[in-house]
Amino acid sequence: MSNLQRRFHFHNDVAEYNVCISRYLQGDSTINNVCVGAVIFGNDEGSRMLLIQRTKNDFGGLMWEVPGGACEQEQDETILHSVAREVWEETGLHVRSVRRLVDAVHFVIDTAGEQFNHRWRKLTFEVEIEEGYGSCDQGLRTSVDQSIKLDPKEHEDWGWATEKEVEDRAWEKGELGRAIRGGLHSKQH
């Protein structure tokens, strides 16, 4: 991770996640893995959310999601650093600040034949990005649009979904899931 990705700030609401991953996992015996997601709004009103689509051959192929992925203890100083790294790796965008937690879900990946199942917690945060920061709504989206760089091995498309499209769980590019709706429902007005 470059120095630029390390230079983000976080709001007091998420200070408890500015902790190393192993320490976070030690604090909860119900999980053995943690992953993160990042909700990026495309304007001051928070009515458009950046979504990316997994490649056809990836786990959850063609699914639309917010940027995110697994926390990596060897690479990430803290859970919040995982957020910044995942946003960078999946979109090429730089996190300016981690504002607040918008969703937390638990799930289990059944690993038949293995000694134990993978018990995950996914933490999804609202973030602000450097690209277009301080611009008007259209200026922000234009700056972000020009900066997005997807890894073609992981994601094949991206777009801005409106609040209505998220509420209806469908937009012109495909079906949307629960975690995406959680991000819009929790936005601050």
Contact 36, 71 (CB under 8 A): yes
What does R_g of the chain's alpha carbons equal in angstroms? 16
pLDDT in tens, 78-126: 999 999 999 999 999 999 999 999 999 888 877 666 655 688 999 999 9
What pTM was computed for the model?
0.85
SS3 16: helix
pLDDT tens-digit series, residues 51-71: 999 999 887 788 888 999 999
Residue 90 CA to chain centroid, in angstroms?
9
pLDDT digits (tens, 9 = 90+) for 7-37: 899 999 999 999 999 999 999 999 999 999 9
Which residue, 75, 85, 51, 80, is CA-closest to 165?
51
Among candidates 47, 41, 59, which has minimal Cα distance to 109?
Answer: 59
- Residue 5 in this model has a pLDDT that exceeds 60: no
The residues, ordered by sequence, that sit 6+ positions from 104 with a Cβ below 8 Å of its Cβ are 121, 122, 123, 124
Quick check: 138 pLDDT over 90?
no
Q: What is the mean pLDDT of residues 176-187?
A: 62
Residue owning tokens 């119900």: 30
